[in-house]
Amino acid sequence: MTATTDGSTGALPSRAAAASDTDTEEAAGATEAARRAVTHATEFLLAQQDAQGWWKGDLETNVTMDAEDLLLRQFLGVRDEATTRASALFIRGEQREDGTWATFYGGPGDLSATVEAYVALRLAGDAPEAPHMAKASAWIRDQGGIAAARVFTRIWLALFGWWKWDDLPELPPELIYFPSWFPLNIYDFGCWARQTIVPLTVVSAKRPVRPAPFALDELHTDPAVPNPPRPLAPATSWEGAFQRMDKALHAFRKVAPKRLRQAAMNTAARWIIERQENDGCWGGIQPPAVYSVIALYLLGYDLQHPVMREGLASLDRFAVWREDGARMIEACQSPVWDTCLAIIALVDGGLPADHPQLVKAADWMLGEEIVRPGDWAVRRPGLPPGGWAFEFHNDNYPDIDDTAEVILALRRVRHHDPERVEKAIARGVRWNLGMQSKNGGWGAFDVDNTSTLPNLLPFCDFGEVIDPPSADVTAHVVEMLAVEGLAHDPRTRRGIAWLLAEQEPEGAWFGRWGVNYIYGTGSVVPALVTAGIPASHPAIRRAVAWLETVQNDDGGWGEDLRSYRNSGRWSGRGASTPSQTAWALMALLAAGERESKAVRRGVEWLAATQRRDGSWDEPYFTGTGFPWDFSINYHLYRQVFPLTALGRYLNGDPFPARDEAEGA
């Protein structure tokens, strides 16, 4: 026995007991910090809601959107000084010290983005000898000049004679006639590529050239030989075969029957016009709208034609005007996605399910349901429509991922018209089930969009052009089906089996639409657990172990976009970000790790990095359009996902795990 400080005798507390007391105190501190953070985050997010009921954060990509917007206006003869000045202000502000432009925050200089930004600033009046321009042009030459830029960049330059059309891959408009079962038909391409390629076949056939307002000799390694010949790959390789096919298409161009070519372009025009949305855009995304306007203009549609007038007006709605007068172009807008994620975050954070702002948001989402067939019906002609798109207006391309998350959001709201909600959910569930691919997974927009041939075309040198099933989309659908009581449905179990087979050896899952392995893992683990896979399952334990090994010293998680190119070095590695920390926490919490040190440290990091107004700062890009090639900073991700994770830390999962999925 040992004397105590008050003179009595008693046993000193053991080290284990002291450690236990410390752990308890630290857990209590984390809980209190999480409560404060949730309160402030909820207040901030509620204040961001639009009067109509939706949420939308800025969707930041890179300066090619802004450069191509100016080039379009130059081509059409509608470029004005105010727009040019505001766009140039934004583009200049994104230039790095080395004179380059990157495609994501902290990333390396990108040749094509730098070429396009440079040309846009020349249009705005920046002199080539100005220091910032001279830096850019020197770097461009060092990287191989315009000749080394991607095809899409050289198409823009060809519109003004800065590049020769003969030196671009051929894209014949007769492609529109290929039946859906024929290789390389337009429905073999992902919807975003399809909407771009159809109008570009018209542009490729017409080969327009507008007088260039200046020369670009400073962007060639040798202006006398701007495009040195490239060696042909072996004919026995896919690359070589497609190179020779492109040569044959160039030859066909010279002998193509004029009536056939004109008919093909007219058919392409009808295809384009039929897919124009009610607000004038195409697919709710900027690139197809730009190319569709050019194609129709080349076919004789004047700028006052209703289709053209509404198309041009829609492009202005992609502009975000900043306080300093700069004008940034969004590649897309994400109100449906942002709204369903905001609802999930608020309810998981403890907001009552019948809160008026949640009901208003649900009303708005119900009004956005798509009830007519779109391009997806080419592969699923008998499937009744139902579901939601990503954007304000995009009835042709509902999104499987959005549909699953909207249903999960609607299930969290106590609505005054439950019958309406149930019918909308039933249609969405039926449509999602009908969009399952043969391998058991789900893509984002289409069924079995898995042919690899489009990726081999010389024309397709930028990003993904197909839409195969991905772990993140499949996980969201599986989670939704489990919440709807369909965990034992054979189609759900096929999805579960596909997910388990897709796990990486180290325990993570690849994230197609978010960066990257942290996003994939943060999506899959909650889905599997909700569908009945026990937290003790080896796949879940491997995921937990991997997340713990990649936690940063500061307690957060982060992953650089370079993991798409070098997963060995960058998988789960990068500066801590609020959204990626939240994804990791959502996985760990679903796996039953609430009391773990990793979870506590992650919660503490989120609470400590929250700003006074209840928001978080996140300059890093954690969203993905095309892995590595086209990255996205969703400005609402930094808000909704931390609130979701902290809410689940405090309140648990709103949809606890269902029965164990038999046979999974």
Question: Residue 51 is encoded by which pair of tokens?
Answer: 């009067």
CA distance 607 to 38: 9
Which ranges of 148-257 does DSSP label H, i.e. alpha helix? 151-158, 191-206, 238-255
Residue pair 74/385 in contact by the 8 Å Cβ criterion = no
CA distance 361 to 53: 4
Question: Residue 550 is encoded by which pair of tokens?
Answer: 């990649």
The per-residue b/e assignment along 587-610, b for 16 or more CB within 10 angstroms, e otherwise, is bbbbbebbeeebbbbbbbbbbebb
* Local structure of residue 142 (DSSP, 8 states): H
Q: Is residue 324 among the annotated active site residues? A: no
The three-state DSSP-derived secondary structure of 522-567 is HHHHHHHHHCCCCCCCHHHHHHHHHHHHCCCCCCCCCCCHHHHCCH
Residue listed under structure tokens 């896979």: 533
The three-state DSSP-derived secondary structure of 274-291 is HCECCCCCECCEHHHHHH
CA 86 to chain centre: 26
Identify the sign of the CA torsion 550, 554, 558, 563: negative
Q: Which amino acid, residue 65?
A: M
332 forms beta bridges with 285
* Local structure of residue 55 (DSSP, 8 states): -
What DSSP string runs through 455-515? HHSTT--SS---B---HHHHHHHHHHHHHTT-TTSHHHHHHHHHHHHH--TTS----SSBS
CA distance 585 to 295: 47
Catalytic residue among 401, 402, 446, 467: 401
Where in the sequence numbering do the catalytic residues fall? 401
